[in-house]
């Protein structure tokens, strides 16, 4: 890979061990994927924040970076952590709480903004054509597919390295020829709810792995929130970083049809809980303002009989005070900084998110009931 003189100096260690390490990570990655240069990025989004998923292993590495006084070179946001300090279940161990606080503090010292959300695009939406280095597969696929910015699906070390250098290797999603569809998915059933979109994503992701799908047959005015669920599902069961959903005249593509039974069967297989769980969790990926408003509307003047959590970012919660008040008056709670997958939950969960239902059996060893928001709310109210 060609490096500029300045990049070479960093690579040789003239700007310290931490910058050198970051540069080496980027060059290694670039060499692996055939990049010829580094390109500047507008922002980075960093995963590897939750102590629950991270564990102790990377803490010393993060400490050494901070000791070397490195700072991020571009606006950098962070993925959810393992708890919301305002809603701390009593059974969290003090060590879990202190280790999480330490990780957040280390990132903060490097200049990473503690957004602690997987939907950073609701805080500041990247512009079309911007090059980014984002981790968090659901944010990557939404950004590439819906917002039109360009990012590879980074891991936490490469997103952090890109943030520290302000650049990323020029390969994959940064090159137009790698963003083109190579499989057509014909939708031959009506997708009625956000849960149907997420379930479709899980089904198709499993089938196509890292191919790039173009969907035919989605409604013209499909909502961003439904595309968010579709992308989150696709990127959970497969490795896809982009999908297309606008009509295009393409010939000669491999074509797969998806019918009602495909979606229903996948939904059934994701619903592993035998009974309706007492814990209901909405907001994977983190809710938009419109989603918080919809939940509030459904709960207005009512009272939930089960634990009802709505996950979103702290910034969005601040901006949706009126709706948050309605949800909390009904006995629900708007949870920030975390989600059902990256926190410690020990009981079965009901969710409208196919991604959560896909992950909790392995990540949290609990079963899930998957159903659309309306049914989740009705269950919460019934007790
Ligand atoms: Fe976000 Fe957690 Fe889902 S990080 S995408 S809410 S698994």
Q: Which atom of ligand 1 is nearest to the CA of 359?
A: 7
What is the predicted pLDDT for the residue at 209? 87
Q: HEC profile for the chain? A: CCCCHHHHHHHHCCCCHHHHHHHHHHHHHHHHCCCCCEEECCEEEECCCCHHHHCCCCHHHHHHHHHCCCCCCCCEEECCCCCCCCCCCCCCCHHHHHHHHHHHHHHHHCCCECCCCCCHHHCCCCCCCCEEEEECHHHHHHHHHHHCCEEEEECHHHHHHHHHHCEEECCHHHCHHHHCCCEEEEECCCCCCHHHHHHHHHHHHHHHCCCCEEEECCCCCCCHHHHHHHHHHHHHHCCCCCCECCCCCCCCCEEEEECHHHHHHHHHHHCCCCCCCCEEEECCCCCCHHHHHHHHHHHCCCCCCCEEEEEECHHHHHHCHHHHHHHHHCCCEEEECCCCCCCCCCCCEEECCHHHHHHHHHHCCCCEEECCHHHHHHHHHHC
Nearest CA to ligand 1 atom 5: 285
Residues having CB within 6 Å of any atom of ligand 1: 79-80, 118, 138, 232, 284-286, 311, 339, 341-342, 355
Q: Which atom of ligand 1 is nearest to the CA of 356?
A: 7
Q: Summarize pLDDT for 220-230 with one digit per residue, the tens.
A: 999 999 999 99
pLDDT band at 88 (very low <50, low <70, confident <90, very high): confident
Confidence of residue 90 (pLDDT cuts 50, 70, 90): confident
Q: Is the pLDDT of residue 97 over 90?
A: yes
- Our mutation pick for probing the ligand 1 site, out of 118, 134, 311, 334, counting the most ligand atoms within 8 A of Cβ, is 118
Q: Does the pLDDT at position 383 exceed 80?
A: no
**What local confidence, expressed as pLDDT, does residue 242 receive?**
98
Residue with the smallest CA separation from ligand 1 atom 2 is 339
In the predicted structure, residue 276 carries a pLDDT above the cut 90: no
Looking at the chain, the whole-number percentage of residues with pLDDT higher than 70 is 100
Mean pLDDT, to the nearest integer, of 291-300? 98
Predicted confidence (pLDDT) at residue 188 exceeds the cutoff of 80:
yes
pLDDT at 1 over 90: yes
Q: How confident is the model at residue 298 (pLDDT cuts 50, 70, 90)?
A: very high
Q: Which atom of ligand 1 is nearest to the CA of 139?
A: 5
What is the pTM (predicted TM-score) of this model? 0.97
156 pLDDT tier (thresholds 50, 70, 90): very high
Residue range 166-176, pLDDT digits in tens: 999 999 999 99
CA of 340 to the centre of ligand 1 (A): 8
pLDDT of residue 274: 86
Atom of ligand 1 nearest to the CA of 353: 3
CA of 13 to the centre of ligand 1 (A): 37
Q: How confident is the model at residue 92 (pLDDT cuts 50, 70, 90)?
A: confident
Taking the centre of ligand 1 as the mean of its atom positions, its distance from the CA of residue 268, in whole angstroms, is: 21
What average pLDDT does this structure show over 45-62?
95
Mean pLDDT of 324-351: 96
Ligand 1 atom nearest the C-alpha of 232 is: 5
């Amino acid at each position: 890979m060609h490096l500029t003189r300045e990049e070479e100096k960093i690579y040789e260690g003239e700007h310290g061990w931490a910058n050198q390490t970051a540069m080496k990570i980027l060059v290694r990655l670039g060499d692996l994927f055939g990049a010829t240069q580094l390109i500047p990025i507008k922002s980075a989004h960093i995963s590897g924040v939750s102590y629950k998923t991270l564990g102790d292993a990377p803490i010393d590495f993060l400490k050494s970076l901070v000791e070397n006084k490195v700072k991020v070179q571009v606006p950098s946001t962070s993925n959810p952590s393992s708890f919301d300090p305002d809603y701390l279940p009593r059974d969290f161990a003090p060590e879990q709480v202190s280790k999480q606080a330490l990780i957040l503090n280390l990132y903060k010292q490097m200049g990473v903004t503690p957004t602690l959300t997987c939907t950073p695009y609701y805080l500041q939406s990247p512009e079309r054509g911007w090059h980014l280095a984002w981790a968090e597969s659901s944010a990557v696929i939404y950004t590439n597919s819906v917002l039109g910015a360009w990012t590879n699906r980074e891991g936490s070390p490469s997103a952090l390295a890109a943030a520290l250098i302000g650049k990323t290797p020029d390969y994959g999603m940064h090159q137009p020829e790698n963003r083109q569809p190579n499989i057509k998915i014909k939708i031959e059933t009506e997708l009625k709810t956000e849960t149907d979109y997420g379930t479709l994503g899980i089904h198709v992701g499993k089938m196509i792995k890292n191919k790039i799908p173009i969907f035919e047959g989605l409604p013209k005015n499909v909502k961003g929130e439904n595309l968010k669920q579709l992308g989150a599902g696709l990127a959970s069961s497969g490795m896809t970083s982009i999908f297309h959903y606008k009509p295009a005249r393409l010939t000669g593509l491999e074509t797969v049809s998806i019918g009602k039974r495909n979606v229903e069967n996948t939904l059934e297989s994701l619903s592993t809980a035998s009974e309706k769980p007492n814990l209901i969790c909405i907001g994977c990926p983190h809710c938009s303002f419109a989603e918080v408003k919809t939940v509030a509307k459904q709960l207005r003047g009512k009272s939930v009989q089960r634990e009802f959590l709505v996950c979103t970012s702290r910034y969005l919660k601040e901006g949706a005070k009126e709706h948050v008040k309605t949800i909390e008056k009904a006995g629900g709670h708007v949870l920030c900084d975390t989600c059902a997958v990256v926190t410690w939950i020990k009981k079965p969960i009901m969710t409208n998110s196919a991604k959560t239902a896909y992950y909790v059996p392995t990540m949290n060893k609990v079963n899930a009931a998957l159903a659309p928001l309306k049914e989740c709310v009705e269950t919460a109210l019934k007790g």
